[in-house]
Amino acid sequence: MIIGFQGIKNSYNDYATDEFIKRLKINIKKLPLTTSECVARSLLNKEIDFGVIALKNNIAGIVEESSKILRSNLFRIVDTIEMEISHCLFAFNESSAINPKIIISHPQALKQCEKYLKSNYPNCELQKYIDTAKTAEDLKSGFLNNRTLIICSEKAGKENGLYLVSKNIADNISRTTFGLIKLI
């Protein structure tokens, strides 16, 4: 059995997938699929048995890309879990954390940290990215400018050898509901 999830290794969806696997108590392979759209396509093509997508967050609201998938009426939610999300701010290294110009992350993460970012980095441009964990991977690889700050999980930043600027930067306690979905 295969579960595809929105995101890559060390994304919040990856962590939610681990929780669903514990609940299912069977041997399941995980497959990172980056976006909700990729999860839906893989379910339709019967390449995966289940999908995991983020549904909503108590600060930023409904995850629009996932909502669009569910409105197709081709999928049903089998189970949900709610997890606390702890966003961290990372830089390429300590010196690149000084006077950054851009902060990049998934749109939901940017919304969840909006007040913090406006207060602490009022002159930074905010840019949307496909996945929080992908920002860490791409900053480390040099795909993103090293004068960029990113928002991701602590584990994603540390496993990519990035410099931790600040922990727990969400505007309030952040909780996201994730859905385990399958074809109807």
Same domain membership, residue 10 and residue 62 = yes
Number of domains in the chain: 2
CB atoms near residue 139 (< 10 Å): 25
Secondary structure (DSSP) of 87-137: -EEEESSTGGGSS--EEEE-HHHHHHTHHHHHHH-TTPEEEE-S-HHHHHH
- State how beta strands 148-152 and 88-91 pair: antiparallel
- Per DSSP, what are the bridge partners of residue 80? 179
Q: Look at residue 146 in the predicted model and tell me its pLDDT.
A: 87
In this predicted structure, what is the pLDDT of residue 141?
Answer: 96
The boundaries of the domain holding residue 179 are: 2-85+174-183
Phi, psi for 33 (deg, rounded to 5): -130, 10
Whether 73 and 96 map to the same domain: the answer is no
In the numeric block, the tokens 């851009």 are attached to 102
Do residue 72 and residue 99 come from a single domain?
no
Question: Looking at residue 93, what is its pLDDT?
Answer: 96
pLDDT (0 to 100) of residue 160: 97
Same domain, yes or no: 133 and 178:
no
| Per-residue confidence in pLDDT tens, the chain, 184 aa | 999 999 999 999 999 999 999 998 888 999 999 899 999 999 999 999 999 999 999 999 999 999 999 999 999 999 999 999 999 999 999 999 999 999 999 999 999 999 999 999 999 999 999 999 999 999 999 999 989 999 999 999 999 999 999 999 999 999 999 999 999 9
From CA 167, how far away is CA 174, in angstroms rounded?
13
Q: Name every residue whose Cβ is closer than 8 Å to that of residue 37 and which is 6 or more positions away in sequence.
A: 65, 69
Residues 31 and 68 placed together within one structural domain of the fold:
yes
Query: For residue 138, what are its two tokens?
Result: 């791409």
Report pTM.
0.92
Q: What is the CATH number of the domain that holds 114?
A: 3.40.190.10
Give the SS3 label for residue 120.
Answer: helix
Do 112 and 51 share a domain, yes or no? no
DSSP one-letter code for 81: E
Task: Say whether both 8 and 67 belong to one domain.
Answer: yes
Q: Side chain identity at 82, as an amino acid letter?
A: E
